[in-house]
Amino acid sequence: MMSGNEPAVYRQPEPGLVGSAHPTIDLRMPPAKHLVIVGATGAVGQEFCNVLRQRRFPVASLRLFASQRSAGRTVAGVNAPAVVEVLTPKSFAGSDLALFSAGAAVSREFAPLAVRAGAVVIDNSSAFRMDPEVPLVVPEVNPQVVGQHRGIIANPNCSAIIMVVVLWPLQRLSPIQRVVVSTYQAASGAGARALAELEAQTRAVLAGASPQPVVFPVPCAFNVFSHNSVVGPDGYNGEETKMIAETRKIFGEESLRIAPTCMRVPVMRAHTEALSIEFADSVSVDAARAALAAAPGVRVVDDPARNHFPTPLEATGGDDVLVGRIRRDPSIPDDRGLQLICAGDQLRKGAALNAVQIAELLQPGV
């Protein structure tokens, strides 16, 4: 069952307790925002509108921007359909909050202009994530850093967000020393065109054709392949490098050891991850399950008798990161190792929902 998508009133998340699965407290209605969405026609941009509407985020005015390609198109807005405008340096006049999801190049060029115009920017791209002056925020983990912003706040990589929401409550049981993680990432993580390619390719293959891939380097339908980001000289691709660096920054643990392998699978939406976690001290399966069950933004789906564990289909459209298959890692001595899998909707918690939660943290009264 999905949870948290239909709040009856505007509800401010309790500091440090942000997430659909956990108590929220009713506070006074914060001032409505003059809101700009950059990349409004994209996979994340459209999810911004869904999340803002579902959480009843107070919007005084809304302008949607994209490239020349989409100028004049009518798309779903927050409370009503809206016409998309071409992004220009003047797009931010009168705005006080700008949600960016149009890629790093657009963010580098336009986010500083938005800040100069008086808006706080919450950026979904990688442009500013590792800038020491830009907070990198997952509200369940490090809400305290949001106030350090100088106009720009970065939303982490989606695979990193899904992983840290699960790791953080476990880190509180015993310091995490090492994580080995494998991802099974949905096509929509590469954007709306990639999602359309998977759907069209699947239909074509089933009809007996051999379609040429355009967005991905290899066929996505009925295939599994290494993540489509550039592989660096160390052999790690961009997605893997982000998972390492961003998790360290979010945790404030520069030496945390993380070994990721990021893969793309023919799933429409929601990323799955398999984690092996090594702790400083012994951590029992029961203690881990209890900590995860109590954690904000996490839902334990762990029923070995019915073989019911997290799946991307069950995570799709929901706010929580699902976690299960929690078991002892027999390769690590002294009961210091656990293995588990998790699945989270990367368009929601991995992008739009996390960004809107950050915007909620910025509201007065919290």
For binding to ligand 2RA (CB under 6 A), which residues are involved?
157-159, 185, 189-190, 239, 346
Q: Residue 204: which residues within 8 A CB-CB, separation 6 or more?
A: 210, 211, 221
34 is catalytic: no
Judged by CB under 6 A, which of 12, 70, 201, 241 binds ligand NAP? 70
CA distance 45 to 87: 14
Nearer to ligand 2RA, 188 or 202 (CB): 188
Nearer to ligand 2RA, 260 or 337 (CB): 260
| Binding to ligand NAP in span 200-259, by CB under 6 A | none
Judged by CB under 6 A, which of 102, 111, 338, 355 binds ligand NAP? 102
Beta 176-185 vs 225-226: how paired, if at all? unpaired
DSSP character string of 147-163 = GG-SSEEEPPPHHHHHH
Judged by CB under 6 A, which of 18, 51, 87, 283 binds ligand NAP? 87
Residue nearest to ligand 2RA (CB): 189
Judged by CB under 6 A, which of 30, 58, 151, 191 binds ligand NAP? 191
Let me know if 269 is exposed, middle or buried by CB neighbors in 10 A (0-12, 13-18, 19+). buried
Residue 103 is a binding residue for ligand NAP (CB under 6 A): yes
Q: How many residues bind ligand NAP (CB under 6 A)?
A: 29
Among 158, 220, 262, 342, the active-site one is 158
Q: Residue 318: which residues within 8 A CB-CB, separation 6 or more?
A: 2, 3, 4, 5, 20, 299, 345, 348
Judged by CB under 6 A, which of 350, 359, 360, 361 binds ligand NAP? 350
Contact 162, 344 (CB under 8 A): yes
Least separation, in Å, of the C-beta of 187 and ligand 2RA? 9
Judged by CB under 6 A, which of 8, 9, 69, 286 binds ligand NAP? 69
CA distance 319 to 230: 30
Q: How far is CA 7 from CA 18, 23, 26, 223, in A?
A: 14, 12, 11, 39
Q: Which does 102 bind (CB under 5 to 8 A by kind): ligand NAP, ligand 2RA, none?
A: ligand NAP
Among 22, 49, 271, 342, the active-site one is 271
| Residues involved in catalysis | 158, 271
